[in-house]
Amino acid sequence: MVMIPRLVIAAPASGSGKTTVATGLMAAFAQRGLAVSPHKVGPDYIDPGYHSLATGRAGRNLDAYMCGPELIAPLFAHGARGCDLAIVEGVMGLYDGASGEGELASTAHVAKLLRAPVVLVVDASSQSRSVAALVHGFASWDPEVRISGVILNKVGSDRHEMLLRDALDESGVPVMGVLRRAEQVATPSRHLGLVPVAERRGDAMAAVAAMGAQVGGGCDLEALMRLARSAPGTPGASGAWDPVAALRVGGARGGPAPLPAPSENRGSAAGPGPRAPDGPGFRPGGPGSTPGGTASPRGGAPVVAVAGGRAFTFSYAEHTELLAAAGADVVTFDPLRDEALPEGTRGLVIGGGFPEVYAPELSANEPLRKAVADLAATGAPVAAECAGLLYLSRSLDGRPMCGVLDAEGRMSERLTLGYREAVAITDSPLAAVGTRLRGHEFHRTVLEPGAGAAPAWGMHLPERRVEGFVQQGVHASYLHTHWASAPGIARRFVEWAAG
């Protein structure tokens, strides 16, 4: 076991101030010269961007539903390697997990897997003595969850603070911070939550600095650090996740292991079958040749272009690490600015984000739209999730997109959100038929039709349906996946690009 000082920042419910407190603590400790490792429970892409800004390190997700409980400690240790402190921001309420799955993927579940002390952030704006009953209830609900401190948020006055402290004196859980209301740390939101850092970097930096100042001034940082150091050895820390080692195992949980190399039957349907920003591994790219160009500058390794910039901000750091470990030369590009794919592009990854917000600019970049369509027409591997799916469609809200898929996208008033279980029902650059994965959906858009002649996935949960598109080397779907749960995806994709 390796000793990694760590804290889990949780709350009774969403909207209590977890992100402000967690990000503020990260910034406050980083400003004091500590190397802070930032983590987020669950699949959320946006909060880790603020964490990264606060710490200067890649924000990493700990999702026990998508990756499995067995990978939480190794992934945590991978991200926290060499750090003085790790701070884990929770998701929703402390005990809220995957729907119908008990504690699975809840903040409490992850805290237990990490053997980490929990600090509860309580919105105290509309209560006084009742805060003690609330904290007592949370602290006694599961004796394996170690709630070791409380941070009181949105406290109105000195007298309000006194009443809260007096009540909590009887709970046995110490108050480790008191934060007054402060508008300057507010961050703007829209239809999918906070506005990502990449879209408002200057303002986001100011907001993170304000969070650090407020939280650093209102919390007992010495007591919090002592609490973090009281955590026992981290299970699995001596066997921290490693992308190279993961590729040697290479399989998907519950599916073929390892995934086979690409077959000659690329993009073929297999019948219904079972139903159902800069970081490690990146190098910055820019305009270059059109698809199928010269070999990679890095000794013949296939160039895999990864979309970034303001429109495509949803990505897990482990994806690019796995691609690089599989032998790819991973190069980022910005579809809002670059008029060509990076030189020598042999594969393309377009993750999630907000193409609906930037549809006019994406549509106006006709040279890049054509380059993407030309690359797809060669049979090169193209992996597109959610925003990438929309970008490959004929149009989005009436504006022309790449036209790779015979489908049209539009904004919707309905939020589609939740975990999914899926089975690959068409052979593709990502997975062989029968590969089982867990993922999540998170969008307010609709694509019509929702599946092509060769669908990507058969969904098991929350209902049985087919979804997505596979054609030639293109795999496009609304489903977000975490490749650490199935590292063979990256190897298969890179082998397809190299072949």
Along the 499 residues of the chain, how does pLDDT read in single tens digits? 568 999 999 999 999 999 999 999 999 999 999 999 999 999 998 899 999 999 999 999 999 999 999 999 999 999 999 999 999 999 999 999 999 999 999 999 999 999 999 999 999 999 999 999 999 999 999 999 999 999 999 999 999 999 999 999 988 999 999 999 876 566 666 445 577 776 677 788 888 999 999 999 999 999 999 999 999 987 654 589 999 999 997 554 433 333 333 333 344 443 333 222 334 444 555 434 333 333 444 457 999 999 999 999 999 999 999 999 999 999 999 999 999 999 999 999 999 998 989 999 999 999 999 999 999 999 999 999 999 999 999 999 999 999 999 999 999 988 888 999 999 999 999 999 999 999 999 889 999 999 999 999 999 877 899 999 999 999 999 999 999 999 999 999 999 999 8
Neighbours of 463 (CB within 10 A): 7
What's the farthest any 2 CA atoms get from each other in the chain?
73
* CA atoms of 267 and 59, how far apart (whole Å): 34
The answer to whether the CB of 316 falls within 8 A of the CB of 483 is yes
Q: In what order do the strands lie in the sheet with 329-333?
A: 283-284, 329-333, 303-307, 345-350, 382-385, 474-477, 469-471
SS percent in the chain: helix, strand, coil, step 5: 30, 25, 45
Place of tokens 């004196």: 169
Strand partners, 451: 468
Upstream peptide bond of 280 is cis (omega within 30 degrees of 0): no
Active-site amino acid positions: 386
pLDDT reported for residue 251: 53
Q: Are strands 408-424 and 457-461 parallel, antiparallel or unpaired?
A: antiparallel
194, β-bridge pairs: 189
The number of C-alpha atoms within 13 Å of 425 and in the hemisphere containing its C-beta is 26
Amino acid letter for position 66: M
Q: Which residue has the tokens 């007298």?
A: 159
Residue tagged 């992996």 (tokens): 383
SS3 29: helix
Nearest Cα to 441, choosing from 399, 479, 403, 385?
A: 479
Q: Tokens in use for 272? A: 């219904």
What does the buried/exposed string (b/e) look like for 296-333 if buried means 16 or more CB atoms within 10 Å of the residue's CB? bebeebbbbbbbbbbbbbbbbbbbbbbbbbbbbbbbbb
CB-neighbour burial class of residue 34 (10 A; exposed 0-12, middle 13-18, buried 19+):
middle
In Å, how far from its chain's centre is CA 483?
11
Tokens of 328: 């790819």
pLDDT of res. 239: 82
Is the CB of residue 437 less than 8 Å from the CB of residue 485? yes
